[in-house]
């Protein structure tokens, strides 16, 4: 285990270690034991937002030839892109703020001829670049260049015909080929699978693919009604919301693979009442927009997460991101303090933070919210 870098926080600090690759939150005493100097942040109460995001999703473009029917960034073949110079300057600022990881995506980031140059720049300034791609057009040479990334996930929303049904075009063979090419050059290759109402029953087939190709993770992402997805009726049913956590557990045991769920699934996990202590330790959280996570859009908007349209600043203006981080994002950060029922009385509120802002507040996919709403008395209508 080697400490790559660290930054102080109110509670102590965040330490990035390599092999195993991990981000560790440690207390003030541990920071002292590791030789870090006293921080002015340690004069503040330990609770409060992070001094900077831990990870930032940089949406490099809204450009993609695939035309997936549920694309959340509404990508088109000639969509907007963040210019190379802007991307590098933004990475410089994020590095100065202390950001550890960036997730590069789009659109299809591989369609940009400067993707690898952006990733190399991230490495130079001390940020680990990660990538999500459809894998379309990836050849052996590009796969070799992908060594620059930390984790690379290929989007596979179904196997065979289920892929075409989910995405609206037949790209499964391309995605599988991309996975094999990437796995031949690096270990940190996984699958992203968007779980929607119609794809839910076929998720186990994707898990089997992850096992078969010896990939390091399966990440299940919740379908969100954003971008072109807003025109689809694909949000999970209440029964599927309850079944998600048991299904994820079964996939771990049956396929012997690592399964992760994105932050928007947290309410559906907490409804099953897992150990709150274990959840806190392993960073199981709901909405972390404007705290752990931030996003930069291709047009320069600095937002709390990729799915929220409200910009806190223009990331292209020098210093604007750091300034916005100090004072903005109250819609994310203040939720727990003013949460309505049924969130207010939920023991997981501090971890869950009301669920995903992209689908509603409080999260309508949360089984607890669904139960609360079903119990509310109907209004009396005068006859």
Partner 1 sequence: MKLFRRGRVLQATFGCNPNSSSLGVDVTFLLFGAAFASAVAVVLGAWLRREPR
- Helix or strand run (H / E) with residue 56: strand 55-59
- Residue closer to partner 1 by CB (options 278, 382) is 278
The residues with which 27 forms a beta bridge, in sequence order, are: 12
* Minimal distance, residue 375 CB to partner 1, in Å: 27
Yes or no: say if 268 and 244 are a contact pair by the CB < 8 Å rule.
yes
Q: How far apart are CA 235 and CA 268, in angstroms?
A: 13
The residues with which 155 forms a beta bridge, in sequence order, are: 192
37, two tokens: 């100097």
Looking at the chain, how many residues does it have?
383
305, two tokens: 């997460």
- Residue closer to partner 1 by CB (options 252, 317) is 252
Q: How far apart are CA 125 and CA 274, in angstroms?
A: 38
Q: How far apart are CA 230 and CA 299, in angstroms?
A: 21
Q: How far apart are CA 159 and CA 165, in angstroms?
A: 10
Q: How far apart are CA 293 and CA 266, in angstroms?
A: 15
Q: How far apart are CA 68 and CA 231, in angstroms?
A: 12
Nearest C-alpha neighbor of 29 from the set 48, 46, 17, 16: 46
């Amino acid at each position: 285990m080697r400490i790559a870098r660290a930054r102080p926080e109110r509670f102590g600090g965040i330490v990035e270690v390599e092999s195993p690759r991990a981000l560790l939150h440690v207390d003030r005493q541990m920071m002292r034991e590791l030789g870090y100097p006293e921080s002015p942040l340690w004069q503040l109460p330990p609770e409060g937002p992070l001094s900077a995001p831990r990870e930032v999703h940089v949406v490099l473009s809204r450009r993609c030839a695939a035309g997936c029917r549920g694309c959340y960034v509404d990508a088109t073949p000639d969509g907007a892109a963040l210019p190379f110079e802007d991307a590098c300057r933004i990475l410089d600022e994020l590095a100065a703020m202390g950001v550890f990881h960036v997730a590069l995506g789009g659109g299809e980031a591989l369609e940009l001829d400067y993707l690898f140059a952006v990733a190399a720049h991230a490495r130079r300034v001390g940020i680990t670049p990660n990538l999500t791609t459809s894998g379309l057009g990836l050849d052996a040479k590009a796969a070799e260049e992908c060594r620059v990334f930390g984790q690379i996930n290929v989007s596979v929303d179904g196997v065979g015909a289920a892929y075409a049904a989910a995405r609206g075009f037949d790209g499964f063979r391309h995605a599988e080929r991309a996975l094999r090419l990437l796995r031949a050059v690096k270990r940190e290759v996984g699958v992203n699978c968007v779980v929607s109402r119609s794809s839910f029953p076929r998720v186990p087939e994707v898990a089997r693919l992850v096992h078969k190709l010896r990939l390091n993770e399966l990440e299940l992402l919740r379908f969100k009604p954003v971008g072109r997805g807003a025109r689809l009726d694909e949000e999970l049913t209440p029964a599927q919301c309850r079944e998600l956590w048991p299904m994820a557990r079964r996939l771990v045991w049956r396929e012997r693979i690592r399964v992760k769920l994105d932050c928007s699934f947290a309410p559906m996990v907490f409804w099953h009442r897992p150990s709150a202590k274990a959840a806190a330790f392993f960073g199981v959280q709901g909405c972390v927009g404007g705290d752990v996570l931030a996003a930069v859009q291709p047009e320069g908007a600095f937002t709390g997460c990729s799915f929220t349209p409200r910009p806190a600043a223009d990331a292209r203006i020098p210093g604007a991101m750091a300034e916005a981080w100090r004072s903005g994002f109250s819609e994310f950060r203040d939720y727990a303090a003013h949460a309505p029922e049924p969130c207010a009385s939920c023991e997981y509120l501090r971890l869950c933070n009301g669920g995903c802002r992209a689908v509603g507040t409080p999260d309508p996919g949360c089984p607890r919210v669904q139960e609360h709403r079903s119990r509310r008395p109907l209004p009396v209508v005068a006859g």
